[in-house]
A = this chain, B = another copy of it.
């Protein structure tokens, strides 16, 4: 039996009992992991250095190297994150529904772990710790398949985690790392339906698309965000500038940043140029339709491809539209169902927009940057789901749970 199958089987084996761990036992184990990571700081930095050296040697970009990099601060942040997680309510065991039947049958729907979670991710070693601790808190076993660019770091982190678990009642097989980071092991995970209950890809668009396309194991898709803001006819100009600049420039590299601005033609005539100038002043490159290019000669002409593009940088595409309906059609065609905003003083238009735009989060007069598990008060975030089944939008701990019907009788049979 090869590594993936062997580890999958072991994970499934221990998963049945992890749902019975007490909250105290899980939190104690989490605290031990936090302590161990700090204790092992030197070792972790030293192993991380090997990944960085190898990365430099093979010509990884500075951006990727920064994602791989561990620092004292980053390790302390990991431990801090674990302590926040300890403070969160344990979702397992919660009674979701109680049905009492006339024949005396008591039916209780309770929250239980999903079972075995497979995590496929790129670069960032902090995902190793995130996934391990979130899975542990929710009573799930986890199989981690990181990227080859972070093997030394990931192995070291798992060593630390296992060291911490040694003195707990939690079996080490609850958290396992696939050491072989060849393409084959990822492919095997895609089809390990026997042992894995859900796969969660974390990383770039290509990784996510590959997992969704190839996996027969159910996937939790945490996806891309081609987010729009629609500036309606009656939008307040000052509020518009604030929200648009926040959405585009506060942190352009994240999935809830704005990628396209749609502007009502009447508003554009009056305030369009001022808004475009404000964006330029903030260092934003404008790609626009003909009207936008006419108003701002520095703008580049948009291609069809641009409307689909998640720039993740200080670039934005801008289009003038005739109505809220036009804006909705554009968004439902080009968007990725993540976060979409309307700025308007017209409450009817707001309602039409919010009801007809198909996205995980729809905003009236606020920045799309709020789509975030922490901002929503969930205290943890597995990712932001852009799919419609199981979980949609920011996923907290509940997204890592399933349910189970417990039925108590005293001999009832069906007539």
A387 vs B196: C-alpha distance in the bound complex, in angstroms?
A: 12
Asked if residues A413 and B369 are in contact (CB atoms below 8 Å), the reply is yes
Closest to A350 in B: B408
Contact of A87 with B by CB under 8 A? no
Q: Shortest beta-carbon distance, A237 to chain B, in Å?
A: 12
Most central of A20, A247, A403, A409 by chain B CB within 10 Å: A409
Q: Interface 1/0s, chain A 335-374, versus B by CB < 8 A?
A: 0000000000000000000111011111111110111000
Given A216-B212, A216-B213, A375-B414, A409 and B356 touching (CB < 8 A)? no
How many A residues are at the interface, by size bracket?
A: 35 or more
Q: Shortest beta-carbon distance, A334 to chain B, in Å?
A: 12
- Which residues of A182-224 have CB atoms within 8 Å of chain B's CB atoms? 193, 197-198, 212-213, 216, 218-220
Given A359-B404, A362-B407, A389 and B99 touching (CB < 8 A)? no
Asked if residues B243 and A408 are in contact (CB atoms below 8 Å), the reply is no
Asked if residues B358 and A414 are in contact (CB atoms below 8 Å), the reply is no
Contact of A59 with B by CB under 8 A? no
Asked if residues B392 and A404 are in contact (CB atoms below 8 Å), the reply is yes
Closest to A393 in B: B405
By a CB distance below 8 angstroms, the chain B residues around A366 are: 105, 407-413
Contact of A16 with B by CB under 8 A? yes
By a CB distance below 8 angstroms, the chain B residues around A388 are: 114-115, 197-198, 218, 402
Asked if residues B358 and A242 are in contact (CB atoms below 8 Å), the reply is no
User: Which among B359, B364, B367 is the interface contact of A413 at CB below 8 angstroms?
Assistant: B367
Contact of A297 with B by CB under 8 A? no
Contact of A303 with B by CB under 8 A? no
By a CB distance below 8 angstroms, the chain B residues around A109 are: 393
A212 vs B190: C-alpha distance in the bound complex, in angstroms?
A: 12
- Which residues of A89-115 have CB atoms within 8 Å of chain B's CB atoms? 99, 101, 105, 107, 109, 114-115
Q: Interface 1/0s, chain A 240-262, versus B by CB < 8 A?
A: 00110011001000000000000
Given A105-B366, A364-B407, A405-B362, A356 and B17 touching (CB < 8 A)? yes
By a CB distance below 8 angstroms, the chain B residues around A332 are: 16
A112 vs B197: C-alpha distance in the bound complex, in angstroms?
A: 26
Closest to A107 in B: B376
Asked if residues B377 and A99 are in contact (CB atoms below 8 Å), the reply is yes
By a CB distance below 8 angstroms, the chain B residues around A367 are: 409, 412-414
Asked if residues B99 and A387 are in contact (CB atoms below 8 Å), the reply is no
- Which residues of A154-177 have CB atoms within 8 Å of chain B's CB atoms? none
Q: Interface 1/0s, chain A 108-130, versus B by CB < 8 A?
A: 01000011000000000000000
A352 vs B366: C-alpha distance in the bound complex, in angstroms?
A: 50
Q: What are 22 sample pairs from A and B whose C-beta atoms fall under 8 A apart?
A: A20-B355, A20-B356, A101-B375, A105-B370, A193-B212, A212-B216, A239-B410, A246-B413, A246-B414, A247-B413, A250-B413, A360-B405, A362-B407, A364-B407, A364-B409, A365-B409, A365-B412, A366-B410, A366-B411, A370-B412, A388-B402, A392-B404
Asked if residues B404 and A362 are in contact (CB atoms below 8 Å), the reply is yes
Q: Shortest beta-carbon distance, A216 to chain B, in Å?
A: 5
Asked if residues A239 and B365 are in contact (CB atoms below 8 Å), the reply is no
Asked if residues A389 and B392 are in contact (CB atoms below 8 Å), the reply is no
Asked if residues B414 and A250 are in contact (CB atoms below 8 Å), the reply is yes
By a CB distance below 8 angstroms, the chain B residues around A402 are: 388-389, 392
Contact of A322 with B by CB under 8 A? no
By a CB distance below 8 angstroms, the chain B residues around A356 are: 16-17, 20
Given A250-B414, A370-B105, A414-B370, A404 and B361 touching (CB < 8 A)? yes
Contact of A19 with B by CB under 8 A? yes
The 4 A-B pairs with the shortest beta carbon distances in the complex, nearest first, are: A366-B409, A246-B413, A369-B414, A388-B402
Asked if residues A389 and B216 are in contact (CB atoms below 8 Å), the reply is no
Contact of A56 with B by CB under 8 A? no
